[in-house]
Structure 1
Amino acid sequence: MAPARKLGLRKRLSLLGMLLCLALAPAVLAQPSVDPAAALSAEDAAVLAEAERLEDSAIRDFGEAAATMQALAERASETSPLRRELLAIAGRWYANAELHEAAEALADQLDARAQQLGDGSDLAASLVRLRVLALAQGAAMSLEQMRALKPRIERELGPRERLRYWYNLANNLRAAGELAEAIAAFQAATELADANNSASWRALVRSGLAESLAAFGQQHRAEALVREAVEIALALGDDLLLSDVYSTLGVVLEQGGDTEGLLAAMTLAISHARSAGDNTNLAVLLGNVAHYHLVRTEYEQAERVSLEALDVAERNEDRTGRALANINLGLARIGLGQIDAGKQLVRRGLDEDESRGQRSEAALTYAELGAALERAGDLTGAVEAYHSARRLDDEIFREDQQRAVLALQEQIDARRRDKAIEQLQAEDARKAAQLERNQLQQWVWRLLALLLVMALIVLIAGVRRLRQSNRKLAGVNAQLRLQSERDALTGLANRRHVQAVIKLSGGERTYRGSLYLIDLDHFKSINDRHGHAVGDAVLIEVSRRLRGLCRGEDLAARWGGEEFLLAVEWLAPADAARLAERILHELSRAVQHEDLRIPISASIGFASLPLPPAALELSFEQSLRLIDSALYLAKLRGRNRACGIRWVRDGSGQAVEATVADIEHAEALGRIGLETIIGAGE
């Protein structure tokens, strides 16, 4: 069993958190940031009071509650923002009840109101439709559209509506695995909840923020926040809210390795859910208790609790709870030796998850299934489960990688635009200097024609000014050339400069020397966690360290993004390996930026050319592709390591290209000799 099983706990985040958000939304209405008497008419105040009472009750039928809230909204003043807020809440409740036609009808009504009043009701309509989309296809499907609404929501909606928006966005981001952005959204919701002075919302958003911080590795801060949420909920005496915050406390404690704390917190959460008469989330809470027993290999207890959770889920038509209960029950029965029956139950839960786009949860479940089958002795089934987990992880990784590439491309394009502007400015300066030079020459010739007597004096003055102008022009040209062949951020040579040097030395045809291609590991996470300014500081420090490793004729260049190239005079294989080890050591020391200490590491591909045993000669481009494939292999085998090419047996062009295409296969066939140097770390 994995040390910290997340399946059941994450399900609670993605569904329970969002349902509680919608269920508690009118509580914010009850505590406006302005004087209610000044903001509401007497009739609207009465409507608000009834909305509060509806919200304070435990909602068991969202469809019925939505119809009641819609009727209350129709009683509010036609132009009052209160009507817009209540209609939006009713629409989202219809979505919760899977009454999509009723939700769409309310969205259409809000669109019509926006055309009549121009009050931002179309934003409320969009949020209702996005709620339907998130529940039908997964939270990730609605994220981009929700992000696009931010500017208008900040300008056109009230503080209570903005609070609901930020909280819903944060939960969707967390469900999609985008934790850094989710934490920022939860912090925005926390500020709005504190400004509205709503105790229930202050507890709820702290609970969500704590869960995200724990998943992000900020355990101490997460535990402090969730305990603060528990104190607020205890002061309110709200059983539904206490059920939520105790459940979050269990999640946070398990992240810190406290499984006994998980059981105690989940037991309290179940007790308060039952006291509130809330069975909608009971199956998931019981699932978390079953997870506790699975972690401790108490399979009979896990089976008992899972059966209870499955019964509750079936009675409440809770798809999330049913999926979790089937998975936990299947894992328990595998542990009890009922392998085939257990696999069928887990498969049933996985089908439920995958049908709702919960790929991250499915990947974790496959991994747990693989571990359970491995312990039970079903090695074939374990391998299949591990392969399924790897397949889903790879798909998610590729999608994350595509998003990262797009962001990096945008950054590169912005830098190219800035560089183009600098070059245009330098070109303008050169043209201005040229124009000044031409004007000066004309002036000199005129003076010579008109004043032969003063020719010598005028000539001396003109030549002096001409020399000054030429020096200025030469300086501008030198600056332009330097800017075009130097990386603006690090001061290292860039790709253009390296290519010019290679061309001058004849390396385009046959390259001789030792090449190192270096890529910083996990650089995107540094930018995501600390910001691009810190990322730039890391690149500058890495460049400084690489320059320190260079000798007189060596060349260090920034090859692109977080990738660097080191070209040195030819080194014997042993010396080349020692230099690779020195580079790994230098790039494993943490970078200190202000009060931040940022750990780094790098992966390296390298070779000394020509390559033995037949002194294989390659062009610079072929050499670069070969060590790039070695760099890829270093990444594949765990990062923080260097992969060096010692020899290539077949030097034909076709064989070299095949080696570049699949270096790992070439090594297995004995076509290429590799050595791996593992970095020691800081």
Structure 2
Amino acid sequence: MPNKKIDMLRYARPSLPLALLALLVPALASPVAAAPESGTVDAAIDRCLELRRSAPQAAVDLADSILASDALPVEARIKTLTCLGGAAGISGDGSRAAEVATQIQTLVDDHPDLPAPFVLRALSHAGAIFHSAGRTYQAETLYARVSDIARRTGGEDAIVTQIVMLTNIGLIHADYLDSPEVAEENYRQALALTEGLGRRDATLLYNLAVNRVRMGRDAEALDALERAERSADETGNVLVRARVRSARAGLLAAAGDTQRARALLQESIAVQKELPDPAGEAASLSVLSTVQRLAGEKLLALRTAEEALQRVERTSFQKEQVQALEAKVAAEAALGRTEAVVATTRRLHALQMTALKEQRLEILADLQARLQDAAAGRELERLRHQSEVQSLSLDKTRLARNFTVALLGLLALAAIAFGLMQYRRHRLLRELSAIDPLTGLPNRRTATGQLNALAAPAARGPVDTRHVLFLIDIDHFKKINDNYGHHAGDGVLIDLSNRLKAACRPSDIVARWGGEEFLVACADLGCDQAAAVAERLRLALAGDVELVSGQSRMLTVSVGFAPFPFFSGVRGGEAAGWAYAIRLADRALYAAKIRRNAWAGFWGAHDPGQVTAEDVLDAPGAAVLAGTITGLAGP
């Protein structure tokens, strides 16, 4: 039933912006807002953060009571505001959420002596609160600022921040830029970093699943939803669990199992009503309306859609309002109510235009604040006064013509401003997604683009040279983390990245490839030159590193390399690309790590003869013995 599939995708579940404390503080299910018996401010704030997602209105009430104290220290005030803003956003009070986010930003700016890790968390929260309130432009600006602070701070805080940034940038790509493929890559990177810290985050897994539903990858979405539900159960995150079960219901309905879908939706709606979670409840009701309409219950479907709209009608949840209106249009059309369909469609169009207008006003306000100085303001006032004097002498025809010209000018200005907003948004997203926050090196995604450019035919050098990829792995890195802690491991990664940058040429590609593995790509090297570079890198990266105060150990690395094109006489096919060279460099790295503090490489001949590219990958040692490739090793 193709129409059913389209409906289920249209009413995909609402996404959830991620904040740092969503990773660090579990959400509990208790609806009680009172502070603990200890009565301490810290305990009350902790209680507020516990209630923020599971009982948002209770958290708002508790935060207001804490903030009533004039003697509240600045850090405690900021923590309480992050709880208040997050809970207000979940409750649908977007205006108050945005106001709170602005207060957080102002308090941070007014207190430059606050510790950098605390500033990192506070501004990350403010960005997520702006995001939940639909203020994506302000959110992106803060995300860029947070990413810059994280690069300077380093450590686990930087990794956690990167998880948050990747997740929220993914949400912007999915919800506002209609780029689910880019969002998928951001979510996958965030998930890998989360698992590297030994954690699981239900919200991240839920957002990944919602995005996969948008892409039509239902089997993978179901797997992510099951993992999200397990994580939500472990942490007691009732809100996310209800949304996960509602999303599963949408997939069941799309597969034709409307009975189980209806039961799951009714269960989720009951939980979301009790929390309350108005956005989740409205989205669940919209899906339920679709299930009812497809089952022939047209009038009931219309009532359910109207109920969904009531839940979010006077809130900041614009996406959920759109979903409810679309469900209402579909039910009215099924009932044959043509005039009602036209009226609801106009209302839907007006809502979408209002959202676009708000985005344009946001960017225009920012442009005015940044570009207009006092002199420009005085000149603008003079021109306005002059224009008013001249307008008094114009006749009606001239006045009407000027009004038309002015209107066209405003429309042009709005178009330019919107274009600037989109350009700046894409630029910020590219910058935030390009750098590894811990080491400051380009990340794997950025390096992939650079390697694609290097592999272009125009980038090829002399016939007797090839581009060479070097994979570098820190020896015994796991022991460092196990014996000294992840903070010491982060210090090793930062120290090695600095040495690596100093050892390479400005034209070389240098990147963090993943974990403790780094990549270097050099253009136009011969076989002997590649071996010399491998030895130079090995020596440059070896040396004593202080792991904790007063304790250091010798750091060594292993290096593997391979050229591309791998065979100099073959300019096409699998063996000509850098991806093939990566796989062979990985084989060489494995050989080098057997000895540690060593390097190894494979170098293809001019012509592979009857040997295929896969043959070389499967058995590089046999290819060396056959003379098809050359194996190199040192020292």
Q: State the TM bucket, normalised to the shorter chain.
A: 0.5 to 0.7
Matched AA of 2:376: R
Paired amino acid for 1:279: V
Equivalent position amino acid for 2:240 in 1: N
2:276 maps to 1:272: no
Distance 1:376 1:163, change over 3 A: farther
Whether contact under 8 Å (2:283, 2:324) holds in the other structure is no
* Distance in 1 of aligned mates of 2:126 and 2:337: 42
CA distance in 1, matches of 2:365, 2:272: 42
User: Quick one: which of 162, 168, 186 aligns to 1:208?
Assistant: 168
**Identity percentage of aligned residues:** 14
In the other structure, the counterpart of 2:95 is 140
Structure 2 CA distance for aligned equivalents of residues 509 and 380 of structure 1: 40
Over alpha carbons, which structure has the higher Rg? 1
The structure whose RCO (Cα within 8 Å, separation 6+) is larger is: 2
1:410, 1:202 → 2: CA distance? 29
Give the structure 1 partner of residue 329 of structure 2. 370
What are the superposed Cα offsets for residues 203-238 of structure 1, whole Å, 9 maximum, x if unpaired? 344322322233334545432221122223334453
**Pick from 156, 166, 173: which aligns with 1:197?**
156
Task: Check if 1:230 corresponds to 2:234.
Answer: no
Unpaired segments ≥5 residues, structure 2 = 428-635
Equivalent residue letter for 1:207: T
Q: Which amino acid aligns with 1:180?
A: Y
Pick closer, same or farther for the CA change 1:259–1:129 going to 2, 3 Å.
Answer: closer
Unaligned runs of 5+ in 1: 28-54, 75-82, 424-483, 485-494, 535-682
Distance change >3 Å, CA 343–CA 364, structure 1 → 2: same
CA contact (8 A) 1:23 1:59 kept: no
Query: Against the structure 1 CA distance between its residues 312 and 417, is the aligned structure 2 distance closer, same or farther, given a 3 Å change threshold?
Result: closer
- 2:189 maps to a residue whose letter is E
> CA RMSD for the aligned pairs?
4.8
* Maintained 8 Å contact 2:124/2:161: no
Deviation at 1:112, TM superposition (A): 0.8
Q: 1:352 to 1:179 in 2, by over 3 A?
A: same
Question: In structure 2, do the counterparts of structure 1 residues 296 and 394 end up closer, same or farther at CA, with 3 Å as the change threshold?
Answer: farther
Paired amino acid for 2:114 = L
**Counterpart position of 2:133:** 176
Q: CA deviation at 1:62?
A: 6.5
How far apart are 1:406 and its partner, in Å?
A: 5.4
Q: Residue type of the partner of 2:143? A: F
Tell me whether 1:185 sits opposite 2:146 in the alignment. Answer: no
- Alignment partner of 1:526 out of 396, 416, 419: 419
Counterpart CA distance in 2 for 1:276 and 1:172 is: 22
1:9 is matched with which residue: 10, 13, 16? 13
The equivalent of 2:556 in structure 1 is none
Tell me the equivalent position of 1:67: 36
| Matching residue of 2:349 | 390
Aligned counterpart, 1:164: 121
CA distance in 1, matches of 2:265, 2:67: 39
For 2:108 and 2:363, how far apart are their aligned partners in 1? Answer: 27
Shift of 1:295: 5.8
Distance in 1 between residues matched to 2:51 and 2:304, nearest whole Å: 31
Correspondence list, 1:22-421, <5 A: 22-24=21-23, 27=24, 55=25, 59-61=28-30, 63=32, 67=36, 88-93=45-50, 97=55, 98-99=57-58, 100-109=60-69, 111-114=70-73, 121-124=76-79, 126-131=81-86, 133-135=88-90, 138-154=93-109, 155-190=112-147, 195-198=154-157, 202-215=162-175, 216-239=177-200, 241=201, 243-256=202-215, 258-293=217-252, 299-300=258-259, 302-313=261-272, 318-374=277-333, 377-400=336-359, 403=362, 414=373, 417=376, 420=379
- The alpha-carbon deviation at position 156 of structure 1 amounts to 4.3
SS across alignment from 1:60? coil
Contact 2:29/2:51 (8 A) holds in 1: no
AA of the residue aligned to 2:173: L
Please give the per-residue CA displacement for 1:321-352, whole angstroms capped at 9, x wherever unaligned: 43332222122101211011112222222211
Count residues in correspondence: 407
Q: Deviations over 1:536-565 (max 9, x none)?
A: xxxxxxxxxxxxxxxxxxxxxxxxxxxxxx
- CA distances 1:31-57 after superposition (whole Å, capped 9, x unpaired): xxxxxxxxxxxxxxxxxxxxxxxx4x6
Write the distance in 2 (CA, Å) between the matches of 1:264 and 1:374.
Answer: 35
CA distance in 2, matches of 1:325, 1:128: 25
SS of residue in 2 equivalent to 1:180: helix
Q: What CA distance in whole angstroms lies between the structure 2 residues aligned with 1:508 and 1:298?
A: 67
In 2, the alpha carbon distance for the partners of 1:181 and 1:5 equals: 29
For the 8 Å contact 2:147–2:162, the answer to whether it is kept is yes
Measure, in 2, the Cα distance between the counterparts of 1:246 and 1:526.
33
Distance 1:163 1:295 in 2: 42
CA contact 1:300–1:336 (8 Å) conserved in 2? no
Write out per-residue CA displacement over residues 178-199 of structure 1, whole angstroms, 9 at most, x where no aligned residue. 3333233334445556734145
| CA distances 1:125-149 after superposition (whole Å, capped 9, x unpaired) | 5545545654555233331452254
* d(CA) in 2 for partners of 1:416, 1:299: 66
2 CA distance for matches of 1:333 and 1:381? 19
Match of 1:112, SS state, is coil
Q: TM-score with structure 1 length normalisation?
A: 0.49
AA at the equivalent of 1:212: I
* Cα distance in 1 between the residues matched to 2:399 and 2:98: 51
In 1, Cα distance between equivalents of 2:369 and 2:30: 47
Distance 1:311 1:383 in 2: 32
Aligned residue type for 2:183: A
Distance of 2:162 and 2:271 partners within structure 1: 30
Kindly state the Cα deviation for residue 254 of structure 1 after the two structures are TM-superposed.
4.0
Deviation at 1:274, TM superposition (A): 3.5
Q: Is the 8 A contact 1:283 1:322 kept in 2?
A: no
User: What is the TM-score of this pair, normalised by structure 2?
Assistant: 0.52
Q: Measure how far apart 1:362 and its partner are.
A: 0.8
Report 1:433-444 matches (<5 A): none
Is the contact made by 1:174 and 1:182 (CA closer than 8 Å) also made in structure 2? Answer: yes
Q: How far, CA to CA, are the matches of 1:413 and 1:91 in structure 2?
A: 41
Q: 1:335, 1:233 → 2: CA distance? A: 40
The aligned counterpart of 1:44 is none
Query: What is the Cα deviation at residue 60 of structure 1?
Result: 2.7
- CA separation in 2, counterparts of 1:355 and 1:187? 31
Name 2:592's counterpart in structure 1.
none
Q: Is the 8 A contact 1:210 1:252 kept in 2?
A: no
**SS class of match (1:322):** helix
CA distance in structure 2 between the partners assigned to 1:327 and 1:414 by the alignment: 48
Q: Give the aligned residue type for 1:59.
A: L
Distance in 1, Cα, partners of 2:46 & 2:193? 24
The Cα of 1:366 is off from its aligned counterpart by: 0.2
